[in-house]
Amino acid sequence: MNQTKTFMLLAALTALFGGVGYLIGGASGMAIALVVAVAMNAFAYWNADKMVLRHFRAVAADANHPDPRVRAYVQDTLDLAVRAQLPAPKVYIIDNPQPNAFATGRNPAYAAVAATTGLLGMLTREEIRGVMAHELAHVKNRDTLTMTVTATIAGAIGLLANFAMFFGVRDSEGRPNMIAGLAIMILAPLAASLVQMAISRAREYEADRIGAEIAGDPQSLARALEKIEHYARSGRVNVDAERNPAMAHLFIINPLSGQGADNLFSTHPATRNRVAQLMELAQRFGQAWSAPAPAAASAGGPWGARKRGPWG
């Protein structure tokens, strides 16, 4: 269902691009904007993983790390990659108190996953496995490629909107149409952004489903989502994400602000809706649903009261 929804949204985005391009510059103007947008996003596609990891100051981790939490995280991630029939991804840690995680890389052969120190310190080992299975599902689904394609088309629409500002829009008789030009300048990029967000939400649902199948434990992922949501909204600020909100869609939970529903302006589905889907999967797996432990009681994660590690 989510694959079909993604295809339909991509088709709508493409149709929007074609319509706006034709209104502004005809076929030639549309082609120029597309070439520029493809060039910009091709650079981002080949270099985005390095740029993102550098932005969040991610540090590579391996099974020889001195902290047992990190060793378990690395080993479980590599084991899950085998279960998902994926090449071993590069594994990183981000020194950030907000629990969160993301995956990046242009394809499975160049994939990288990253988890914050907050995630490793506040979730149980099973919940961390659930989160990393979700991120590996993004890799398996090639969601980075999907979002790059949407960014390419949305970027082209933005360029066309800029053309409207400088060159205007003309009616069928060749006369300037200022109202149409203003409407395209404002509405076209907004519509493209809304479609991008809708695609992002659809990919999150799909990654939840496939991630639960990879880990074989929908409940742990559901509990992880609820805990991450709680901690992310309780004063633990992701400063690097706040500095660049355009990267918010990368994370498993929106690092910027809470979302009460799957509204048009949300990059992530509402956590309660994601948990509901996972509860249905748990029933199919024959699991009896158990609610997450109170946040205060589970703050130490799988190693009890948190001790000072290499990140403090």
Question: pLDDT tens digits for 13-72?
Answer: 778 887 777 777 777 767 877 777 777 777 877 887 888 899 899 999 999 999 999 999
3-state secondary structure of 239: helix
Strand-by-strand arrangement of the 59-60 sheet: 59-60, 90-94, 112-116, 101-104
Token pair listed for 3: 């694959």
- Higher-pLDDT residue of 89 and 249 is 89
The rounded mean pLDDT for the chain is: 80
- Higher-pLDDT residue of 285 and 296 is 285
Token pair listed for 296: 């205060």
Question: pLDDT tens digits for 150-164?
Answer: 766 777 787 777 777
Q: Exactly one of 135, 204, 206, 229 is catalytic; which is it? A: 135
pLDDT reading at 177 higher than 50: yes
Residue indicated by tokens 């100051």: 57
pLDDT reading at 309 higher than 60: no
Domains of the chain, by residue range, sit at 2-169+177-303
pLDDT reading at 290 higher than 60: no
Tell me the pLDDT band of 140, cut-offs 50, 70 and 90: very high
The number of C-alpha atoms within 13 Å of 217 and in the hemisphere containing its C-beta is: 16
Q: What is the CA radius of gyration of the chain?
A: 21
- Is there a catalytic annotation at residue 135? yes
How many whole angstroms separate alpha carbon 258 and alpha carbon 254? 7
Give me the DSSP letters along 141-165: TTHHHHHHHHHHHHHHHHHHHHHHH
Reported pTM: 0.78
Instruction: Over range 75-84, report the average pLDDT.
Output: 97
